[in-house]
Amino acid sequence: MLAASKAGTTPPHAEVVGQGLSARLTSMLNGTPLAPAIAMDGVWQDYGALSGRVDQIAASLQGLAVGERVGLYLDRTPDLVASLLACLRLGLTFVPLEPDFPGERLQGIARQARLSAVICNHGEGVPDFGCPQRPLSRLAPGDENAAMYWPRVDDSQAAYMMFTSGSTGEPKGVVISRRALLCFLDGIRERLGLTPACHWLFITTPAFDISLLEMLGPLWSGGRLTVAGNRHNKDPLGMMALLAADRSINWLQATPACWRMLLKAGWQGSDSLIALCGGEALDPGLAEQLCSRTQRLWNCYGPTEATVWSLVSEVRWPPIDGQITISHSLPGYRHWVLDETGQPVAEGECGELCIESPALCEGYWRKPALTAAAFLRLDNHRLYRTGDRVRRLGADSFRYLGRRDDQIKLRGFRIELGEVEAGLRRQAGVQEAAVRLLGEGDEAMLVGYVEAKAGVTLNRLALRKGLQASLPHYMVPARIILLDALPKTGSGKLDRKALPLPE
């Protein structure tokens, strides 16, 4: 079923200027107005209808100036994609607000970002973000809006701000420019060979930056996407039902944890499906299963600070040495491996992986000290320090060895242990706290260790409820262990290795 497009997909007095992201977005939306663009629950919108919806949402945002920040507090529907595009067309900076996150955390993000407005499709129950709400439910699909003026937007302006876990105890905002987003979209289209025949299944939460590839990648190439609604995107049986219902879906991106979840649910694969795997290390066992069940498998690597993915390589089975590598920089990206003195290492040596690209973020929002620590200058090259330790195998191939800090990946989510520990220390009666990751793969879990203040008896359930009020579900430890005192080294520092294993 195809929704009818609005006649005249660009308002009659619209002015589209520039050769950057704005002009490309206009060409993308208006180039093939009758081609299918986006679907949910079997209802398709063509590019013309999508363009009309973008116009409507943009009209509701009139009055905001270029560069102002707009929160997207939206369920997983085609309106999420249209709202994102409306912000980009107007030169606004969108900030994803995941409805599943605790209200306290979302309000903290809104305060940090200093939002000017929040687009929502929830009539009631929206947290108080301290700024005007723009409910999409008040925009009827058939409404005709006033003629739009598309402002001149320089590509140095911020396109979006994505909040990630912060080691200081609060999330930090990663600011990505329009130029960086353009660099990534062009580079990934070239590397993956995206065409109008691409049909993606959109399953990732918008608070995770890889969702941008699922939303914008297919549209950037003239293809289409199917939105997996809230009841499908976390349910393996629901995802399997969507893939079975529409055999034309030929691209799916997921974390290793999500792929393992599908396989455990009995997914047999598809010889027409192209799979992307990223967010954490791809192990050989999972790679073998995916290679045997799909047409092609791509292994992806990249931090939020470098705009989604920076290394994307096709996995051939079996690999030459039995190990899965991260390799093949996207066009516009270059990867360095530096030793402890900040000098490049030779082939076969280990060091920290650093990224050079026009797609690097501008820095962390209002956190100059963190920005200065994460970015460095090597001669005339601006590099981002990923914190990932790798072995340099060749000019553009690396083997992942682990982290040089306390950041971890759990089922694709990036977590700073310091933020979880800070959350535990904020709970009443807690003197000191520590967190560690135990186990691997599906068995991996966060374990929290808590030392009570003198004379205080702590309750694990109360501690868990306190964390759930401020942290996303994936950051709440699966087990909390109460200790008389946290183990210390001879110098008085926390001895993580001496933390006891849970019974």
- Residues across the chain: 503
Token pair in block for residue 263:
């396989």
Q: Considering 156, 176, 196, which residue would you say is the last residue of a domain?
A: 176
Does 130 map to a domain? yes
Which residue type sits at 68? E
pLDDT in tens, 394-403: 889 999 998 8
Token pair in block for residue 254: 């997921």
In a domain, 49, yes or no: yes
Confidence at 148, pLDDT banded by 50, 70, 90: low
- Look at residue 203 and tell me if it is in a domain: no
Last residue of a domain, one of 157, 176, 195: 176
192 found inside a domain: no
Among residues 176, 192, 220, the one where a domain terminates is 176
DSSP H/E element including 96? strand 93-96
Q: DSSP string spanning 290-330?
A: HHHHEEEEEEEE--GGGSS-SEEEE--SS-TTS---EE-BP
Residues 6+ apart with CB under 8 A from 380: none
End-to-end CA distance of the chain: 55
Largest interatomic CA distance in the chain = 74
Instruction: Give which of 490, 496, 407, 409 is closest to 448, Cα–Cα.
Output: 496
**What mean pLDDT is predicted for residues 270-275?**
96
Section 370-384 average pLDDT = 94
CATH, residue 63: 3.40.50.980
| Token couple for 150 | 């598309």
- Asked, for residue 162, whether it belongs to a domain, the answer is yes
Question: Per the domain annotation, does 424 fall within a domain?
Answer: yes
Q: Answer whether residue 115 is part of any domain.
A: yes
What pLDDT, in 10s, does the model give residues 182-194? 999 999 999 999 9
What pTM does this model have?
A: 0.87
CATH number at residue 463: 3.30.300.30
* In the predicted structure, residue 127 carries a pLDDT above the cut 60: yes
- pLDDT for 123 equals 59
Report the SS3 class of residue 79.
helix
Question: Which sign does the torsion angle of CA 467, 279, 416, 439 carry?
Answer: positive
Task: Evaluate whether residue 321 is within a structural domain.
Answer: no
Enclosing domain of residue 91? 2-176
How many domains does the chain divide into? 2
Which helix (H) or strand (E) segment holds residue 495: the answer is: none
Contacts 24+ apart (CB under 8 A), 101-105: 101/207, 101/472, 102/468, 102/469, 102/470, 102/471, 102/472, 103/127, 104/469, 104/470, 105/171, 105/470, 105/471, 105/472
Q: How large is the average pLDDT for residues 287-296?
A: 96
